[in-house]
Amino acid sequence: MAAAPQQQAAEEYVRVVARVRPLSVKEEGGDEHVALRCMEDGCSVEMLEGKDEKQAGRRFTFSRCLGPEVSQPEVFEESGIKDLLRSALKGYSATVFGYGQTGSGKTFTIVGDAAFRDAKTSGGAGLMRRSTDYLFGKMGKIENVAYSVECSYVEVYNEQVRDLLAGTKGKESMRAVRWDVQKGFFVSGLTTIQCNNSHDVGKVFRKGFSRTRVGTHDMNDRSNRSHCMLTLHIRGRQTNGTTREGKMTFVDLAGSERVKDSGSKGKMLRESGQINRSLFTLGKVISTLVDRKKKNNFVPYRDSKLTQLLMDSVGGKSLCLVVACLSPSSKHVFESNRTLQFAVRACKVKNQPVLLLNQQEKLIQELKKEVEKLRAQNRDLLDRLREIDIPETRHQSRGMGLPPSSAAAAGVTSSSLNVSPKRGQLHSEGDRKKGERKGE
């Protein structure tokens, strides 16, 4: 299949939104207190404490800063994700992911509470459910475009990519990550399921979500042990035959962990090492992209399965929204500061969104119309030949005997032809003169 033509849009910086969760009941009951806050301007975070005087009082500025009082519906409205969703419907690729330490609220922000329900969206629903409701609502209002949506769901666990929609729980199908010049990195043999509405997406999500790796430690009762990616593949076919293939990916990253805080042991300790290693690689990729001194250096996308799959999202051809999730607790000042440093660097990453237009179907339709038109002209020409009683084989072999309209179009006129009534043959003027010279 021929590569789809591409239309390149203007450069876009990665959009970063900071979200500060409230103190947990456990934190409030202990000796912990608020160590960072959102400023009144709605765009800045201030560190109230730090490991030294320079860190304390420092402010970080982003596209938006959402405090503990901001509800889930308000996060959806103020984060800017609607711009990404509209772009996906137009044929662009877009990604949203939450970043932060374990227990900072990433899964709650992206997925929401445990009730990703069939019923009407609950107050605790996250960006994923609200986005699917918004997308299908928009599709029904756009004229002259027929949309279809397919859903895929994978996790990266201990540097292995698992298809959460194939196999059974605990025995999910392993998938290889391959490279293609046109596609970039992609998951080979990925299962996709047709979804006709938000309810269908919810069913697919619950099926995959029930198979994700989770664990419990001192910092989080339900800690993700893998990075999960749910992708909506959106195909919009216009009435003129053009097909646009957009994509919206929701990434629920596992959180970074400090072993002395999480108390991880055995299997969970090994999982923590893999999680921290992949997140470190993601930070290294971003640092390389934004560091001018390292501009010509190799960007280490290949060093991790996570960064391979996020290559288009970070410094590539997609639009991207990062939600930096923060704990306000004084106990987690170190990790909160690291998250803020990561978010500041991510703000400086430039992406080059590309619109993919699949015009193969349009070309096929145009060629079919042209063939039918030529067939109609050929039938008309044969009818005219029969009317003047000229054998078809003769005009085909000699290129003569065309009907008046076709002869005129070909530059053949009665003055340049000599008809011999006796022999019933057609001669050109040049043949007639040649015969006269031979007779002399």
Residues annotated in the binding site for ATP, as ranges? 100-107
For residue 111, give every residue at least 6 positions away whose Cβ sits within 8 Å of its Cβ, in sequence order, or none: 126, 128, 129, 209, 252
Task: Answer whether 84's CB lies under 8 Å from 247's CB.
Answer: no
Distance CA 255, CA 148 (A): 33
Q: How far apart are CA 188 and CA 176, in angstroms?
A: 6
Token pair for 352:
């080059």
Cα–Cα distance, 28 to 23 (Å, whole number): 6
Other CB atoms within 10 Å distance of the CB of residue 293 = 6
Amino acid symbol at 58: R
Task: Output 272-279 pairs: Cβ under 8 A, ≥24 positions apart.
Answer: 274/157, 274/158, 274/159, 275/225, 275/227, 277/304, 278/156, 278/159, 278/227, 278/304, 278/305, 278/306, 278/307, 279/253, 279/254, 279/306
Residue 303's contacts (CB-CB under 8 Å, 6 or more residues apart) are 281, 284
- Residue 281 tokens read as 């690689």
Classify burial at 192, counting beta carbons within 10 Å of its beta carbon; exposed 0-12, middle 13-18, buried 19 or more: middle
Q: Which amino acids are annotated as binding site, given as ranges? A: 100-107
Encode 240-259: b = buried (16+ Cβ within 10 Å), e = exposed.
eeebbbbbbbbbbbbbbbbe
* Closest alpha carbon to 246 in 410, 29, 4: 4
